[in-house]
Amino acid sequence: MTLSRMNQRKRRSRSNSRATWFERLMATIALINLTFVLFDLSYIRFRDLYLRFIPTPTVWYGETFKGIEPERTTVAYLALVDGLKSQFDGTSDELTQERILAQLAEQSATIVNEDPFAIAGKSGTLERIKNLMRDRMQEESSKAAFNEFWNKDDFQGGTAEEKLIFFDGEIRPLMETNYYRGISESGSPIDLFWRIDIWFMALFAAEFLARTYVLSRRHAGTSWIDAMLWRIYDIPLFIGIWRWLRVVPVTLRLHQAHWLNLEPARNRLSRALVSQFAIELTEIVLLRVIDQVQKLVRDGDVSRLIATATDRSKYVDINGVDEVQTLAKRLADVVVYQVLPKIKPELDALLQHSVVGALQQAPAYQGLQIMPGFNNLSAQISQQVVAELSKTLTQALQNAFADEQGAALTSQLITGFTDSLGQEMQRADTLDEVRGLVDDLLEEIKLNYVERVATENIEQLQASRYRLYGTTSRSR
């Protein structure tokens, strides 16, 4: 290996290493951006779940980027409960307790009637709270259950601590999930995710322009627009709508960074698409061809074609050669000089069978069979006669084709045969019968074979295609 080639390989290796490093860096950034996007898209729907596992970041993100504020009615309700709890910490005031319990009963009825959870689309949470309270107090009405729960006599009877433990464990977590989301000037809920996403979008837009420009310069004859179309799957990374589409470019970048192998899935998908397309295309082409042939037969174009072919005065000749006669003569030459010598044993057997059969039907031959040894003698004579007959026939045909006069007679025979066949084919009864038979045959082909193409197992077609590909690859 020359020194220049080694240097070229080293430079190519360094270039590939830099490309891999760059691809991995951009794939990491794209994956981080996709994580933010998916969290933002799922925040409202799964906010309760996020509050359970990451409460502080969830509250901060909602207040900062989603315009989410604590809902005043439920916050005031929980504050009243906290005030009630403080009355049992050694600073009990009976009048204050009664006043707070009355307010809680009143606020409970307000919550049931006005449903402050509806603004956040969490009316189901309120229904769960009402069901828990009904089950706790064994009441069918949620209002009655709340009134009994905050009854002052019940609290003074020693069940206050038990009720407050139930409330803090079952009711409070549900009420804390309620929120109010502000409305922007456009009339839609506040969404400031663009403050995070704008930096990623700017980065990916700049990378897209730089990458496509380099591609257009690297490949001769490729315009910048063509290079942009080449990387069109990167566009979702820097547009602010349909952000869920970023799953596609991020997945492709992970594949390019060799962190994800998409080849099996891509091969499987391409095989399925190509095989299905090939089946449908084959079916359409076959049906189209057969329909066109049927149309030609039904419209009588075939009969006009035969008539034109037999009428040399109306036939357009492009090379001055009668192709039919030439093909017939060539076929006759092949039969006489190549086929007949090879099938001479079979021809002799057929002739002998015919000769013996003809002799056995003769009355004189039947009478001579009673003579001793006549059967063996007749068999020998028939074999000699057949051998001489086939030899004479073959030589006669070969001499006839070798002789100029014989060739001329053969040509006349072929011409006469062609003309006679054409004339007979132009008869009305013959044409009608042939036309009907051909049309029925084509219809049967469509029903029996073309339909089978559509029901063919795709996996079998793929296996056949790969076997064929493997065979042709090994033969190269």
Q: What is the mean pLDDT of the chain?
A: 76
The per-residue pLDDT for 112 is 93
Angle at 63 between CA 61 and CA 69, to 5 degrees: 140
Tokens of 80: 């009243």
Contact (CB, 8 A) for 422 and 309: yes
- Cα separation, 316 vs 360, whole angstroms: 56
Tokens of 181: 């989301």
Question: What are the residue boundaries of the structural domains of the chain, listed by start?
Answer: 3-43+193-256, 68-181, 262-299+427-476, 323-415
**Looking at the predicted structure, is the pLDDT value of residue 195 above 90?**
yes
Residue 175 CB burial class (10 angstroms; 0-12, 13-18, ≥19): buried
Amino acid identity, position 329: K
**Looking at the predicted structure, is the pLDDT value of residue 455 above 60?**
no
The per-residue pLDDT for 27 is 92
Tokens of 315: 């036939």
- Cα separation, 254 vs 397, whole angstroms: 77
Residue 117 CB burial class (10 angstroms; 0-12, 13-18, ≥19): buried
Tokens of 128: 């769960």
**Looking at the predicted structure, is the pLDDT value of residue 39 above 80?**
yes
Beta bridge partners of 183: 189
**Looking at the predicted structure, is the pLDDT value of residue 1 above 50?**
no
- Find, among 284, 252, 398, the residue nearest to 334 by Cα: 398
Give the model's confidence band at 424: pLDDT under 50 very low, under 70 low, under 90 confident, else very high: low
The per-residue pLDDT for 133 is 93
Burial call 389-415: b when 16+ CB within 10 Å, e when fewer: ebeeebeebbeebeeeeeeeebbeebe
Q: Distance between alpha carbon 327 and the CA centroid of its chain, in Å? A: 49
**Looking at the predicted structure, is the pLDDT value of residue 461 above 60?**
no
Q: Which residue has the higher pLDDT, 439 or 237?
A: 237
Tokens of 252: 């492709």
Give the model's confidence band at 374: pLDDT under 50 very low, under 70 low, under 90 confident, else very high: very low
What is the DSSP annotation of 215-277?
HHHHSTT--HHHHHHHTGGGGGGG-SS-GGGGHHHHHHHHHHTTSS--HHHHHHHHHHHHHHH
Lowest mean pLDDT among 111-120, 248-257, 286-295: 286-295
Parallel/antiparallel/unpaired status of strands 68-70 and 179-181: antiparallel
Beta bridge partners of 180: 69
pTM of the model: 0.57
Lowest mean pLDDT among 23-32, 126-135, 421-430, 462-471: 462-471
